[in-house]
């Protein structure tokens, strides 16, 4: 399963002087990548939605690689977004399939940097032109990362730029993109952030067994909830049993804020979580739907294999509506 999927949106890579260089650098990198060249896969614009969605679901990092055409993505890439980011996949009541995945826009720009300025003939900054894609990422629950882009990436023989200069800039662009990808996948903060996503995905399901959670809890974990303090694995089992009697499976833990920073013993994770859940009639909520906002503070450690262990878990209620 590829951790990285790269969607190449160039309409005709055979005519490209820069995107081909960038893709070749990505192919030659040690990272495992699924590079999907839309111009070869779908020259007729008939997107295989099921195949594309499967590729996205298998990835931790999604990269859109494209030339900046008329202040937007090329038509083929726009068609891909329109078809693949569908209802109940990227948005809607069941549209959480992309939630928590890192999303990078990697684009080549023909014009010089100074032209993308209020005083230049393009009038707006590149980031402003990217706002529709940024909002698309937010709606789909993707984690929008800083875009990677390079100017003066068009070669017109005898008119604009030298081929060797353009291709040199393309190799530099690929290096910056790979550096960002490596940081997202391999930094301690990134590993912990991915763990947080998976932690709450498991809690949303409320499986009968608590074994998956116990594997990531220190045997002497200090578990502090608004209703009391629980110690060790036995204490967590007691709390989890109570939670399963209170909340129906299919909860929605929304991570509204997340910060990971070093601490004296490892890492501290500060979160603001909104819980949307249905409850059982016999629970303290009497079967009413719950909309609860809480602050959470975790103390965690990370071993050499990148495995996260939680040592302290503190939850404080901010407000709740039932």
- Locate tokens 């030659």: which residue? 28
Task: Count the domains in the chain.
Answer: 2
Report DSSP state, residue 13: G
- What distance in Å separates the CA atoms of residue 74 and residue 200, rounded to the nearest whole number? 36
Last residue of one domain, picked from the residues 186, 209, 225? 186
The verdict on 198 and 175 lying in the same domain is no
Q: Give the pLDDT confidence of 124-141 residue by residue, as tens digits.
A: 999 999 999 999 999 999
Last residue of one domain, picked from the residues 166, 186, 206? 186
Tokens found for residue 54: 């499967």
Phi-psi group of 158: left, alpha or beta (phi > 0 → left; psi -120 to 50 → alpha; rest → beta): left
Give the pLDDT score at 186.
Answer: 83
The verdict on 127 and 245 lying in the same domain is no
The verdict on 77 and 151 lying in the same domain is yes
Report DSSP state, residue 321: E
**pLDDT band for position 320 (cuts 50, 70, 90):** low
CATH number at residue 69: 3.40.50.360
* CA 218 remoteness from chain centre: 27
Tokens found for residue 268: 């501290």
The verdict on 63 and 176 lying in the same domain is yes
The verdict on 161 and 134 lying in the same domain is yes
The verdict on 162 and 217 lying in the same domain is no
Tokens found for residue 221: 């974990």
Spatial strand order of the sheet with 217-225 comes to: 228-231, 217-225, 308-321, 290-302, 267-277, 252-262
The verdict on 9 and 82 lying in the same domain is yes
Phi-psi group of 193: left, alpha or beta (phi > 0 → left; psi -120 to 50 → alpha; rest → beta): alpha
The verdict on 20 and 136 lying in the same domain is yes
Give the pLDDT score at 116.
Answer: 93
Rg (CA), the chain: 23
The verdict on 233 and 119 lying in the same domain is no
| Structural domain for 230, as ranges | 189-321
CATH number at residue 312: 3.10.450.50
Give the pLDDT score at 190.
Answer: 85
**pLDDT band for position 1 (cuts 50, 70, 90):** very low
Indicate whether 194 pLDDT > 90: no
Q: Note whether 61 and 102 are within 8 A (CB).
A: yes
Give the pLDDT score at 2.
Answer: 54
Question: What pTM did the predictor assign?
Answer: 0.70
Biggest distance spanned by C-alpha atoms of the chain: 79
Instruction: Please tell me whether residue 30 adopts helix, strand or coil conformation.
Output: coil
Last residue of one domain, picked from the residues 155, 186, 217? 186
What string of DSSP letters covers 219-248? EEEEEEETTEEEEHHHHHHHHHHHHHHHB-
Average pLDDT estimate for 46-52: 97
Q: Give the pLDDT confidence of 220-272 residue by residue, as tens digits.
A: 999 999 989 999 999 999 999 999 999 999 999 999 999 999 999 999 999 99
Q: Which residues does 209 contact at the CB level (< 8 Å), separation at least 6?
A: none
The verdict on 125 and 209 lying in the same domain is no
Instruction: Please tell me whether residue 271 adopts helix, strand or coil conformation.
Output: strand
The verdict on 169 and 210 lying in the same domain is no
The verdict on 86 and 145 lying in the same domain is yes
Indicate whether 121 pLDDT > 90: yes
């Amino acid at each position: 399963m590829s951790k990285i999927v790269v969607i190449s949106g160039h309409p005709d890579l055979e005519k490209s002087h820069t995107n081909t260089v960038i893709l070749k650098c990505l192919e030659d990198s040690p990272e495992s990548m699924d590079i999907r060249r839309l111009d070869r896969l779908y020259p007729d614009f008939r997107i295989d939605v099921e195949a594309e969605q499967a590729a996205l679901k298998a990835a931790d990092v999604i990269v859109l690689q494209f030339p900046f055409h008329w202040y937007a993505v090329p038509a083929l890439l726009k068609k891909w977004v329109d078809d693949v980011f569908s209802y109940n996949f990227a948005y809607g009541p069941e549209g959480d399939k992309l939630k928590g995945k890192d999303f990078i826009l990697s684009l080549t720009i023909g014009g010089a940097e100074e032209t993308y300025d209020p005083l230049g003939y393009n009038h707006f900054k590149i980031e402003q032109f990217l706002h529709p894609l940024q909002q698309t990422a937010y709606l789909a629950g993707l984690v929008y990362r800083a875009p990677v882009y390079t100017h003066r990436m068009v070669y017109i023989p005898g008119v604009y730029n030298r081929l060797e200069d353009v291709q040199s800039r393309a190799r530099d662009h690929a290096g910056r993109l790979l550096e960002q990808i490596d940081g997202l996948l391999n930094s301690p903060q990134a590993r912990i952030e991915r763990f947080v996503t998976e932690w709450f995905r498991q809690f949303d399901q409320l499986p009968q067994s608590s074994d998956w959670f116990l594997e990531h809890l220190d045997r002497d974990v200090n578990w502090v909830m608004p209703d009391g303090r629980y110690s060790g694995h036995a204490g967590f089992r007691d709390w989890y049993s109570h939670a399963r009697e209170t909340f129906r499976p299919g909860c929605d833990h929304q991570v509204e804020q997340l910060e990971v920073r070093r601490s004296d013993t490892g890492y501290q994770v500060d979160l603001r979580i909104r819980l949307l859940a249905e409850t059982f009639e016999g629970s303290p909520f009497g079967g009413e739907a719950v909309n609860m906002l809480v602050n959470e503070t975790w103390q965690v450690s990370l071993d050499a294999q990148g495995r996260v262990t939680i040592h302290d878990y503190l939850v404080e209620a901010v407000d709740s509506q039932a």
